[in-house]
Every structure is written in C-alpha cells, then in structure tokens.
C-alpha cells in the first residue's frame, strides 16, 4: 500500500544501454527515416546520448546519418510537429 504523499518510483534508476552494441549493429542506414526518428525530438533536434543511452561512437554515426537524411530531404531540418 502506498501513501498519497509518497512519490511513485519510475524507471529513472534503470541503467541506459547502447542499443547498437547490444544488437550488434555496425552500420546505421541514413535511408531508414523511421529508425532515425527515434533519435530526433518533436522539433527535429537530435536527442543527446545521455537521454538515448547511445555510446559516443554510435552517437557520432547517428548524427552523421541524420544529417545525410536531412540533406536528401528524408528528414526535415525544422518542424512544428514531427511525430
């Protein structure tokens, strides 16, 4: 039984992991816009690795893939509602 004033514990304490290392992904395809949308917020900005849990090596690859997708107009540079 929880008290009304007691805060609800969320998944804040869960350790973040790099999904690329866990699944053995070596190449990030810039043509897969639906996958890249997971790393972009509603305004079209890249999410930082401290939020997504991506390692530094793959964060750079994600950033490059998003930039390439934007250049080819697969992803927008700026938007009001992306998702």
Q: What is the pTM of this model?
A: 0.78
Residues facing residue 46 across a β-bridge:
40
**Ordered per-residue pLDDT tens for the chain, 83 residues:** 555 665 555 666 777 889 999 999 999 999 999 999 999 998 899 999 999 999 999 999 999 999 999 999 999 998 776 55
Cα–Cα distance, 51 to 72 (Å, whole number)? 26
Residues 40 and 66 sit within 8 Å (Cβ to Cβ): yes
State residue 14's pLDDT score: 76
State residue 15's pLDDT score: 76
State residue 11's pLDDT score: 61
Domain residue spans in the chain?
Answer: 19-72
CATH number belonging to domain 19-72: 4.10.640.10
CA distances from 33 to 2, 10, 47, 71, 78 (A): 43, 30, 15, 12, 15
Report DSSP letters for 43-74, one per residue: TSPBPPHHHH---HHHHHHHHHHHHHHHHTTS
State residue 16's pLDDT score: 81
């Amino acid at each position: 039984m929880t008290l009304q004033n007691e805060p609800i514990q969320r998944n804040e304490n869960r350790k973040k992991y790099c999904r690329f290392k866990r699944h053995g992904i070596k190449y990030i395809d810039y043509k897969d816009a639906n996958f890249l949308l997971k790393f972009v917020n509603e305004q079209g900005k890249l999410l930082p690795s401290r939020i997504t849990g991506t390692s530094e090596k793959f964060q750079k690859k994600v950033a490059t893939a998003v930039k390439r997708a934007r250049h080819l107009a697969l992803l927008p540079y700026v938007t009001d509602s992306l998702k």
